[in-house]
Structure 1
Amino acid sequence: MIVLYPWGKALPSSTVTQGTPVAANIVTAASGPCLQPGQVQVGSQPAPGDKPCLTVQLRMTNGPAPGKSLQLTVPIEPSTPRFSAGDDVVLAYNGGNALDPQSFQLVDFQRSTPLVLLAALFAVAVLVLGRWQGLAALVALGLSFVVIVLFVLPAILAGESPLLVAIAGAGAIMFLALYLTHGLSARTSVAVLGTLVSLALIGVLSAIFSAAASLTGLDDATTTLIGSLGHGIDARGLLLAGIVIGALGVLDDVTITQTSAVWELRRANPSLGWRELYGAGLRIGRDHVGSAVNTLVMAYAGAALPVMLYSAISGVGLGSLLTSEDIASEIIRTLAGSVGIVAAVPVTTVLAALIASREPVDHLISTTKRAAPQQ
């Protein structure tokens, strides 16, 4: 992270003007003909063949003219949001006359309130169930976002290899999440080692097969990013970086579960050797890996659902559909991540068995007593 961080480098800014966000509230909304500034509406319905528009009366709540009213006309298209009276919305202000409607564009809804409420509900649920460990998990989650925002994004924008940045960032997130949530112990260190090995395998497999499949990584979001930057970026590296970071959460779950299972087996029967611990832990892992792989596949399938729907109505054959850029990227993302998850089970289990079998029995028993609730 120290080597890859853009020390003293000026990060690029967008060459595309996005406009300054301004909060507003829709007072009235009515559909009718599309009117240009200065035109007078004749009739309440658009002429045959003309597309309808939505005329909204807004009141700005912040920005250059808070409290001022504004009237905008928005074309009604299948791809545009449906605004109505009472909606809290976001305008894009281009810096012109604050009283001129041409200086504003209606772009989106305000979503801060429901997002904050859902985040609070999530935090309460984690704290109620996890208590102090839940608090540690929330702190680790916050630090994970800090790593992404303050290291991963600046380093990639500064021109560093997205894959190397993702591996370094994922490693930092893994250390923070695992050690903060589960404590500094041999058990956690085994999970860290298993996760590192699996992440490396996922990165290697993704790099090899994305190159073999000639994936460019130029999806709509990446194309928009390149247009905003005004210069090229390693699009395939961005794809690989997304694969590594996306697989990290499932890997943490698998490796922690395997190490916990092996340690509990050892505590339940201290006479078990490492081979017996490995065999029993592997049997537990076989059950876990099936559900974990399915979780990863469904997560990627859900994220790619619009792409799959668009491809399904395109009229091409199944073979062409599966080998298209968008679908092939998701297939490689899913399969490479799944191979890493599968490999994490035996790797983590054998490490846990070797270390747990050498832990003194007295230490196991005393640890169990400290973990037991007081009567």
Structure 2
Amino acid sequence: MVFHFLFNSSQDNLEIHGKIIKEINNNNTSSKLNEKDSKNKKTTLSRNYVMVKILNGDHKGETIKLDNLVNDKTSHQSFTKKGDEVLINISEDKNGHIKSGSYIYDVVRYKFIYVLVIVFVLLIALIGGMKGIKSIIGIAITGFAVLKIMLPLIMAGFDPIVVSVFICIGVSILNLLIISGKNKKTLAAIVGTCGGVIIAGVIAAVCISALRLSGLTDEEEQNIIYIAQNVNFNFSGLFFAGVLMGALGAVMDISMSIASSINEINQQKEMSMVDLIKSGMNVGKDIMGTMANTLILAYAGGAMYIMIWISSYDLPFHRILNQDVIASEAVKSLAGSIGLIFTIPLTAIFSSFIFKREKKYDQKVDKIIE
């Protein structure tokens, strides 16, 4: 089962692509619908059709007439226009001919996303040089770890808490080693990152247990149960994994910034360990405010729809905050921010210790040589 999740091939080749070559407005149908709706005092979308040319599959090159409505079985209803590439579902009779019942179920978006990814990668490589290329490798490793290891293992029934802890620690170590190399600075950043993420995880675990949070709506929970085919799915563990993954990026960034700053200061100027720690703390304080804002704004942006939905009921603030999904986002933001705050002294102290120890060792070696 795990092997299937990790190495299952893509099903993209089964998707039928089509291109809108013509729009057909059906005024008569539209007027009948509107007339009927006026009697029932209801409104509806005007009905029209499109001619779609099939781009792949057994019916490649054929043209069919379909309702111009995407996802008519959901609330995400929208019209397509001439030139759009769409994904369609085809119904066939026993002879393999297209019959009625075929429909458009989505607009092709992934190709544009691919272009955006290519632009992103090229900009990182051009502006960042070798560091940028290393960053791209790190991003690829993170994406693979999350999509091909963490999520499949969780869906296969493994404990999300255990899986997320190992994935986060492994990803942070690999990324820092790739970006900065094998040295004292990287070691200090790894210690600070792991410490900050673990603290965020401990706070999240305590909050999840005390507040009985899942971080999901009832509909989302039902969907996950259906997909995972597991009525005993660990939703709290999944929420814990989300906290760790959300905090990891910011914590890794601040730990490397502090370790790098202390390393530069130590190489340029003779300072005591206490002074190095103070310098690292000053750097951390400057970064802390913006990073905490980054975490809070990221979580708030991700929960914007839910916040609008709950706020529309005009409830008092404490009632809004008391909702599971809102309380979960608050815990994510605060747990991640607290972990980030603890990362600053952890990285500053450990960096100062190993850099001063290394410098003293080098000085002793120099004296012996002299």
TM-score, normalised to structure 2's length? 0.85
Return closer, same or farther for 1:79/1:250 CA change in 2, 3 Å cut-off: same
8 Å CA contact retained: 1:198, 1:341:
yes
Partner of 2:126: 128
Q: Secondary structure at the match of 2:15?
A: strand
Offset of residue 229 of structure 1: 3.1
Residues 70 and 101, structure 1, Cα contact 8 Å, conserved in 2: no
Mean Cα deviation higher: 91-100 or 173-182: 91-100
**Map of 2:81 onto structure 1:** 84
**Aligned partners of 2:254, 2:182: CA distance in 1, in Å?**
18
In 1, Cα distance between the equivalents of 2:128 and 2:361? 28
Distance in 1, Cα, partners of 2:86 & 2:182: 47
Name the CA shift for 1:131/1:46 in 2 (closer, same or farther; >3 Å).
same
User: Percent of pairs identical after alignment?
Assistant: 23
CA distances 1:67-125 after superposition (whole Å, capped 9, x unpaired): 111222255887313311211111234676551231x3312111233212211211111
Mapping of residues 29-48 of structure 1, within 5 Å: 29-30=23-24, 32=26, 46-48=33-35
- Where does the alignment leave 5 or more consecutive residues of structure 2 unmatched? 7-12, 38-42, 364-370
Shift, 1:185, TM fit: 0.5
Q: Is the counterpart of residue 303 in structure 1 residue 302 in structure 2?
A: yes
Q: Which residue of 2 aligns with 1:262?
A: 262
2-structure distance, mates of 1:161, 1:243 = 15
Q: Helix, strand or coil: the match of 1:82? A: coil
| C-alpha distance 135-43 of structure 1, shift in aligned 2 (>3 A) | closer
Whole-Å Cα distance in 2 between the matches of residues 67 and 330 of structure 1? 49
Quote how far apart the aligned CAs of 1:217 are: 3.4
Aligned residues: 344
Of 16, 21, 26, the residue aligned with 1:22 is 16
Does the 8 A contact of 2:85 with 2:108 survive in 1?
Answer: yes
Tell me what 1:210 maps to: 208
Give the TM-score of the pair, scaled to structure 1. 0.84
1:153 partnered with 2:140: no
Cα distance change of structure 1 residues 363 and 325 upon mapping to structure 2, 3 Å threshold: same
Q: Which moved more, 1:218-227 or 1:74-83?
A: 74-83
1:165-209: CA deviation from partner (whole Å, max 9, x where unpaired): 111111111111110011011110111111111111111111110
Q: How far has the Cα of 1:298 moved from its partner?
A: 0.8
**Partner-residue secondary structure (3-state), 2:86:** strand
Q: What is the Cα deviation at residue 343 of structure 1?
A: 0.5
Hey, what's the Cα distance between the residues in 2 that align with 1:342 and 1:332?
Answer: 15
Determine the C-alpha separation between the residues in 1 that align with 2:257 and 2:313.
Answer: 43
Q: Contact between 1:20 and 1:94, CA under 8 Å: does it hold in 2?
A: no
Instruction: Show structure 1 runs of 5+ residues with no match.
Output: 1-5, 13-18, 34-40, 365-375
Q: Paired residue for 2:240?
A: 240
Deviations 1:214-237 (A, max 9, x none): 213333444322123332211111
On the 8 A contact 2:90/2:98 being kept in 1, the answer is: no
Distance 1:91 1:361, change over 3 A: farther
Could you tell me how far apart the structure 1 residues matched to 2:30 and 2:91 are?
32
1:32–1:260 Cα change, 3 Å = same
Q: Deviations over 1:131-163 (max 9, x none)?
A: 111111111211222212331122111111111
Q: Tell me the secondary structure at the aligned position of residue 206 of structure 1.
A: helix
Q: Report the Cα offset of residue 287 of structure 1.
A: 1.0
Q: Which amino acid aligns with 1:179?
A: L
Distance in 1 separating the partners of 2:158 and 2:98: 44
Corresponding letter in the other structure for 2:268:
A
What is the alpha-carbon distance in structure 2 between the residues aligned to residue 202 and residue 30 of structure 1?
Answer: 56
Q: Tell me the CA shift for residue 45 of structure 1.
A: 6.0
Q: Distance in 2 between matches of 1:95 and 1:318?
A: 54
* Cα distance in 2 for residues equivalent to 1:277 and 1:144: 32
Farther off after superposition, 199-208 or 332-341: 199-208
Question: 1: CA distance between counterparts of 2:111 and 2:152?
Answer: 28
Mark the CA change 1:315 to 1:168 in structure 2 (over 3 Å): closer, same or farther. Answer: same
**Corresponding letter in the other structure for 1:46:** L
Q: Distance in 1 between matches of 2:69 and 2:60?
A: 25
Specify the alignment match of 1:369 in structure 2: none
Distance 2:193 2:187 in 1: 10
Aligned match of 1:337: 336
Which structure features the higher share of helix residues? 2
Are residue 63 (structure 1) and residue 57 (structure 2) matched?
Answer: yes
| 278 and 21 in structure 1: CA distance in 2 versus 1, 3 angstrom threshold | same
CA distance in 1, matches of 2:343, 2:103: 50
